[in-house]
């Protein structure tokens, strides 16, 4: 059972480049989210989705784009990378309902130079 799979694990981008972080889950979870983790700031929500075709902004959405065409996949696109987007990115999935825990991918460490 793979759970939540994120790719790539590491990435270095130049300022202005674009890229897509991939996230896939095999648990048939309705909800999926993207977070970024920065020192001393915990995990901050970028975008989330409550089902295929439905996405919404989180706390820090600027510079990122998402789509959810299938239940399984929730890619995160950086449109024009900036050094401020250097961070560790985590994808999570969870069932709808109360008290349902989230399952996390292993993270993508992104450096923008």
Partner 1 sequence: AQSVTQLDSHVSVSEGTPVLLRCNYSSSYSPSLFWYVQHPNKGLQLLLKYTSAATLVKGINGFEAEFKKSETSFHLTKPSAHMSDAAEYFCVVGGFQKLVFGTGTRLLVSP
Contact footprint for partner 1 (CB under 8 A): 31, 33, 35, 40-45, 48, 50, 56, 58, 90, 92, 94, 98-102, 104-107
Least distance (Å) between residue 80 CB and partner 1: 27
Nearer to partner 1, 49 or 85 (CB): 49
48 or 81, CB closer to partner 1?
A: 48
Distance CA 62, CA 46 (A): 8
What is the smallest separation between the CB atom of 79 and partner 1, expressed in angstroms?
Answer: 23
Please identify, using beta-carbon distances, which residue of 26 and 56 lies nearer to partner 1: 56
d(CA 56, CA 101): 20
CB of 33 to partner 1, least distance (A): 7
- Annotate 73-105 with b (16+ C-beta within 10 A) or e (fewer): ebbbebeebeeebbbebbbbbbeeeeeeebebb
């Amino acid at each position: 059972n793979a759970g939540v799979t994120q790719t790539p694990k590491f990435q270095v981008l130049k300022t202005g480049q674009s890229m897509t972080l991939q996230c896939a889950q095999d648990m048939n979870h309705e909800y999926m989210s993207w977070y970024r983790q920065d020192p001393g700031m915990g995990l901050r929500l970028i975008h989330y989705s409550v089902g295929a075709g439905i996405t919404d902004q989180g706390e820090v959405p600027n510079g990122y784009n998402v789509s959810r065409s299938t239940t399984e996949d929730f890619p995160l696109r950086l449109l024009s990378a900036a050094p401020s987007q250097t961070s560790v990115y985590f994808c999570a999935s969870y069932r709808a309902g109360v008290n349902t825990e989230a399952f996390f991918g292993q993270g993508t460490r992104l450096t923008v130079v």
